[in-house]
């Protein structure tokens, strides 16, 4: 019990004595933490939806009066702040916003209630270079491969897009031995931020994670022939303290009202918008 809660109960006792003296009912004592009972939703979101979420969240709070307590982390990859690692060390949330594949894994583990899954948007993989640098042509498969070969260094995320780039695409192109030595897996940071500092020449991540970084320039999506489209989803945890609030948040994120913000951030909303 906090000092504030003790003070409130003491105050109630004093009031009860005073009320008893004058014959008035005192009512029930305050519950512990009653003064802090404003609703809140604890949510963790992966980077693919983070830029849009940061714009949408204040609107949701203003409309509902619900306070969002937000954490950020990759859908996978093993970084210390990734969503799976956060959960493994005991962090608890009402809602998870992450890749569909990651969310389905959480459903299989019993972390997420299966009946609460909502798919919100899709995202493609794009490439970034440092602002002011020439934009490589990656509009065709041939040009894309040449850009990979010409780059002095390559960065990719530790999550879904980077796993695909490094473990599927590079081997598929037959270039793994040439590209792996000059490639770097980026943990707990936007790939475009590393590109902006000049630590890697080109970087790959979800388009929605590249567009919002100062100092980096978006070169475009990788060619359709090599593209991986990721769906981002949300769900309510089995241990949610505020499942009703979490449901309201997820419905808002997936609504037509939120869709324009999702689109502006580089995502393709699954709900139509004007």
Locate the DSSP E strands across 49-160: 67-72, 95-99, 118-123, 125-130, 154-157
Torsion of CA 251, 253, 259, 263, to 10 degrees: -150
Cα→Cα distances 84→6, 28, 167, Å: 38, 43, 20
Q: Look at residue 272 in the predicted model and tell me its pLDDT.
A: 65
Q: What digits encode the pLDDT tens for the residues 175-211?
A: 999 999 999 999 989 999 999 999 999 999 999 999 9
| Percentage of the residues of the chain whose pLDDT score is greater than 90 | 82
> What distance in Å separates the CA atoms of residue 67 and residue 211, rounded to the nearest whole number?
27
Nearest to 51 by CA among 273, 264, 268: 264
154-157 vs 118-123, strand pairing mode: unpaired
Other C-beta atoms closer than 10 Å to the C-beta of 172 total 11
C-alpha–C-alpha distance, residues 239 and 166, integer Å: 35
Q: What is the pLDDT of residues 60-74, one digit of tens each?
A: 999 999 999 999 999
In this structure, what token pair is assigned to residue 235? 């769900």
| pLDDT score recorded for residue 14 | 36
CATH of domain 39-123+231-269: 3.40.190.10
Look at 166 and 2; give whichever has higher pLDDT. Answer: 166
Which of 11-25, 36-50, 126-140, 180-194 is predicted with the least confidence, judged by mean pLDDT? Answer: 11-25
CB 130 within 8 A of CB 178: no
- Whether 4 has a pLDDT exceeding 60, the answer reads no
Least confident range of 18-32, 34-48, 125-139: 18-32
Lowest mean pLDDT among 32-41, 60-69, 99-108, 152-161: 32-41
| Residue 78: per-residue pLDDT | 84
Query: What is the average per-residue pLDDT within 246-262?
Result: 97
Q: Where do you find CATH 3.40.190.10 in the chain?
A: 39-123+231-269, 125-226
Neighbour-count burial for 35-54, b at 16+ CB within 10 Å, e otherwise: eeeeebbbbbbbbbbbbbbe
Q: Mean pLDDT for the chain?
A: 88
Higher pLDDT, 18 or 196: 196
Q: In which band, very low, low, confident or very high, does the pLDDT at 150 lie, cut at 50, 70 and 90?
A: very high
0.75 exceeded by pTM: yes
Regarding predicted confidence, which is higher, 149 or 2? 149
Quick one: which of 239, 235, 233 has its CA closest to 91?
239
To the question of domain 125-226 being in CATH 3.50.50.60, the answer is: no
Contacts of 194 (CB under 8 A, 6+ apart): 155, 184, 186, 200, 203
């Amino acid at each position: 019990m906090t000092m504030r809660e003790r003070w409130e109960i003491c105050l109630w006792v004093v009031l009860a004595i005073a009320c008893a003296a004058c014959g008035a009912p005192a009512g029930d004592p305050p519950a512990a933490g009653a003064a802090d009972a404003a609703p809140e939703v604890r949510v963790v979101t992966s980077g693919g939806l983070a830029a849009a979420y940061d714009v949408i969240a204040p609107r949701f709070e203003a409309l509902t009066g619900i306070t969002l307590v937000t954490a950020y982390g990759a859908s996978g990859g093993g970084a210390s702040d990734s969503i799976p690692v956060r959960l493994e060390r005991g962090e608890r949330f009402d809602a998870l916003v992450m890749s569909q594949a990651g969310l389905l894994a959480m459903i299989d583990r019993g972390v997420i209630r299966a009946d609460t899954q909502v798919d919100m948007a899709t995202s493609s993989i794009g490439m970034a270079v440092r602002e002011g640098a020439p934009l490589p042509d990656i509009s065709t498969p041939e040009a894309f491969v040449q850009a990979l070969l010409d780059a002095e260094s390559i960065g990719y995320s530790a999550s879904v897009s980077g796993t695909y780039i490094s473990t599927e695409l590079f081997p598929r192109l037959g270039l793994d031995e040439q590209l792996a030595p000059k490639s770097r897996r980026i943990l707990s940071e936007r790939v475009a931020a590393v590109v902006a500092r000049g630590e890697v020449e080109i970087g790959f991540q979800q388009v929605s994670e590249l567009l919002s970084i100062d100092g980096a320039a978006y070169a475009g999506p990788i060619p359709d022939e090599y593209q991986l489209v990721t769906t981002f989803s949300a769900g309510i945890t089995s241990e949610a303290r505020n499942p009703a609030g979490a449901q309201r948040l997820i419905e808002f994120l997936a609504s037509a009202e939120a869709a324009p913000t999702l689109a502006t951030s580089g995502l393709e909303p699954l709900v139509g918008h004007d």
